Chain A
Amino acid sequence: MRREPPQRLADYGPLFFPAGMLIVFFVVPFATMIAVSVFQREQGGFYTPAFVFDNYARFLSLFFGKVLGFSLFLAIAVAAACVVIGIPFTYLLSRSPRKIQIVWLVALLSILSLSEVMIGFAWSTLFSRTAGITNLFVWLGLMTQAQALTPSFGAVMTAMTYQAFPYTVLVLYPALVRLDPTLTEAARTLGASPVKAFFTVVVPALRNTILATLIMVFIFALGSYLLPQLLGRPQHWTLSVLITDQAIYQSNMPFAAAMAVFLVLVSLALVGLALYAGQQRQAK
């Protein structure tokens, strides 16, 4: 059976259901959201069709600027932390025996799929006064008294790194498995230490992969909405938290939609950049 362009209407048959579902339940909701973002808000959580940019104009406030700045900063910090730990880890994992790789992959997938609610709950327990890690420090004599470590920026940052780390490894994994092992072997034969070979051969060969991964993890971290809420103070809220808050608790759908549209634009620009970096990698 040769692969050929569809000729008769029946050839398009398999496409009808998937295309219909995706258009009705993804494209239309997306368009609805964009439409709502320019609607006029009414008292009591309702909104009426209009064409106003008031909701976007609110972005120009100092409060919004602070939230946006913090969201971007937090996502960058998380992405950097994940990639710095993730690259050597994934590199070593890709050079491990297959059985060990599979055990780690299963563990990483299980943690990656764990609900953000549960990750937040687990870290709030670990950072609590009564059941937390500080009890261990007291027992070891490092601290005199157990204390709560939440809410704090460190707690948000740690938990988000925890959440994004498995994702980072899984994004890096295919590229690192395919990395030609003779590259490092050559470096080793020529007298480079393993660490030196890693930094002078592996890292430069993966420059575009690393850039693409940083961007992917950045977007992933940008989507975190519960951890800043559960483990941080209100000043640690991100754009995702703010969108949820406006949509559900403040009943201001138009403003929430406007922020979501803005977040889409930021994410799409970054995805484009990541794809571009990925293509540069293949072109080499």
Chain B
Amino acid sequence: MTALRRLFFFVVGLFLALPLIVVAGVSINARQTLAFPPQGFSLSWYGQIFTNPEWRNALIASLTLAASSALLALLIALPLAWFLWRRIAPWANIFQLLGVAPFTLPPVITALGLLTFWATTGFYGQPWTAVISHGIFFVTLPLVTLSLGFSAIDRSLVEAAATMGADDRVIFRTVVLPLILPYLVSGYAFAFVLSLNEYIVAYMTVGFTMETLPIKIFNALRYGYTPTMAAVTVLFLVIAAVIFGLVARFGDLPKLLGAMSDER
């Protein structure tokens, strides 16, 4: 049984790894050809991401968009999650539902809704519209992690603080915030990584005025192949693995993903 299990894990792992291995391989080709196993060895394609102005601008655009839209998502999710936890207001759950909706529906729907909206209001193509669009699109992630974080808080702690005369503001700063900090950080991390990789919403809102890295790769694919695309793919995979690895290292990843490991 153990051998069978190992074999099954190995086959699934191979299926998941194979395209990434090939991409990593072609990213170190010495010449600009699509060949595997790689012919020669060169890291120059990775250098291209930072030295070639087109790729560097796309990288900066992507990082800026991801950092600011994840922050916006957090700023929307935090007060909402706090309110839902602090007050008895069943009707306010509608906002929780609205926060989860863009993530549950096929992304092209949110993308098209925002495209018609920005076109109607006359802001179509402005870089900041992408920040708002991504902020709304990814609000689900901090909202879900924060709801989980709030539900894990022992209410008697907060009660004790209130008995000692602390008001909501003080309680939030001194008791609640330290307790939900890991959920705050992981919510931001999830939104950041997903925004970095997002294509359709960014493309439909600012695709013609700003190039994020996914948009840049898609546009470059039409004109042929360059190993820089492979290098960017590997870079993004490493960024995601490092960030999720850190979340797992400093937080409880199985619990964040709904396993509730502390209950057993």
**Inter-subunit contact A89/B8 (CB<8 Å):** yes
Residue of B with least CB distance to A85: B12
CB under 8 Å from chain B, chain A span 120-173: 121-123, 125-126, 128, 130-133, 135, 162, 165-166, 170, 173
A268 to B109, CA, bound (A): 12
Is B41 positioned at the interface, with any CB of A under 8 Å from its CB? no
A256 to B116, CA, bound (A): 10
Is A232 positioned at the interface, with any CB of B under 8 Å from its CB? no
Residue of B with least CB distance to A93: B9
Interface of A is mostly: helix
A19 to B99, CA, bound (A): 9
- On chain B, the residues within 8 Å of A256 by CB distance are 112
- On chain B, the residues within 8 Å of A212 by CB distance are none
- The interface size bin for chain B is 35 or more
Is A284 positioned at the interface, with any CB of B under 8 Å from its CB? no
Please tell me which one of the listed residues B15, B106, B162, B240 contacts residue A113 in the complex, with CB atoms under 8 A apart: B240
- The interface size bin for chain A is 35 or more
**Inter-subunit contact B241/A122 (CB<8 Å):** no
A221 to B259, CA, bound (A): 24
Is A22 positioned at the interface, with any CB of B under 8 Å from its CB? yes
Interface of B is mostly: helix
Please tell me which one of the listed residues B89, B199, B214, B237 contacts residue A6 in the complex, with CB atoms under 8 A apart: B89
Total cross-chain contacts (CB, 8 A): 267
Given A29-B117, A33-B116; A260-B108 close (CB under 8 Å): yes
Residue of A with least CB distance to B193: A113
**Inter-subunit contact B36/A132 (CB<8 Å):** yes
**Inter-subunit contact A226/B113 (CB<8 Å):** no
Is B49 positioned at the interface, with any CB of A under 8 Å from its CB? no
**Inter-subunit contact A18/B95 (CB<8 Å):** yes
**Inter-subunit contact B254/A115 (CB<8 Å):** no
**Inter-subunit contact B237/A223 (CB<8 Å):** no
Is A203 positioned at the interface, with any CB of B under 8 Å from its CB? no
**Inter-subunit contact A122/B16 (CB<8 Å):** no
- On chain A, the residues within 8 Å of B236 by CB distance are 114-115, 118
**Inter-subunit contact B116/A253 (CB<8 Å):** yes
- Interchain nearest-CB distance for B122 vs A (Å): 13
Given A105-B257, A109-B240, A230-B221; A122-B20 close (CB under 8 Å): yes
Residues of A whose CB lies within 8 Å of any CB of B are 1-6, 11-12, 14-15, 17-19, 21-23, 25-30, 32-33, 36, 85, 88-89, 92, 98, 101-102, 105-111, 113-119, 121-123, 125-126, 128, 130-133, 135, 162, 165-166, 170, 173-174, 177-178, 194, 219, 222-223, 225-226, 230, 240, 243-244, 247-248, 253, 256-257, 260, 263-264, 267-268, 271
Could you jot down 14 A-B contacts, CB within 8 Å?
A1-B161, A3-B85, A15-B92, A22-B99, A32-B116, A89-B9, A92-B8, A106-B253, A108-B16, A116-B214, A130-B33, A177-B260, A223-B106, A247-B112
